[in-house]
Amino acid sequence: MKYEIKGDISEEYINKELEKFNEELTKAGENLSIEQAFEVNLVQKEKIKFRSHVINLEEKAKKRHDVKLNDYNKIKNTFGDGFYVREINVPAGELVITKIHKQNHPFFLLKGKCSVLTENGVKHIEAPYYALTDIGTKRIIYCHTDVLWVCVHMSKSTNVKDIEKDIIAKDFNDPAITKADVKILTKMIKDKNVK
């Protein structure tokens, strides 16, 4: 199923972001054919549109007076030997817009049902469920029932603010996100051409 989030994203903005992405491709030394480069740019253009719409939605939510971000669904933090567990309970009917993930890591849906929208489309999931989060992921999650969501991150720190600097990107221009995009898309194109 294809997602659709309405909003105005200018072609100028998209082209500027594609230009940055293509500079990263060149820096990475990726040698793609014209056809491969065109295909990578088409996929990246859709990512840019989705990401821009999600950021716009989040900004609009922040401006609403009846929405109190971060007042609900307090996060439970647990620390282990080289890892950090982030646990959140979300009530039924709530819409959650996640942070931008800066690390690959596992997540677990331990209770409930939800619909998860990412740049790859909508996925309906039900506990028990787990998957891996890719670098650069930002989700919109609608909780059909009460949900218990858990993420596990590698970290030697026990200071949440320090950990968040390592695991959450401020925006999609973070170098970790850009490098991951280049790696994922070029691998996708090269794998496709091998088959």
If asked whether residues 30 and 100 sit together in one domain, one would say no
If asked whether residues 137 and 81 sit together in one domain, one would say yes
Q: How many domains does the chain contain in total? A: 2
Is residue 135 one of the residues assigned to a domain? Answer: yes
Distance CA 74, CA 57 (A): 22
Q: pLDDT tens per residue, the chain (195 residues)?
A: 344 444 556 677 677 777 777 676 666 666 667 777 777 777 778 888 888 888 888 888 777 766 555 556 788 999 999 999 999 999 999 888 999 999 999 999 999 999 999 888 899 999 999 999 999 999 999 999 999 999 999 999 999 999 999 999 998 888 887 777 777 776 776 676 544
Please report the DSSP string for 74-112 in residue order. PEEEEE-SSEEEEEEEE-TT-EEEPPEE-S-EEEEEEE-
Q: Which residue has the tokens 């930002």?
A: 138
Is residue 47 one of the residues assigned to a domain? Answer: yes
Q: Can you give the residue range of the structural domain that contains 45?
A: 11-65+173-194
Query: Are 9 and 46 a contacting pair, CB within 8 Å?
Result: no
Is residue 33 one of the residues assigned to a domain? Answer: yes
If asked whether residues 83 and 136 sit together in one domain, one would say yes
Distance CA 94, CA 146 (A): 9
pTM attached to this predicted model: 0.76
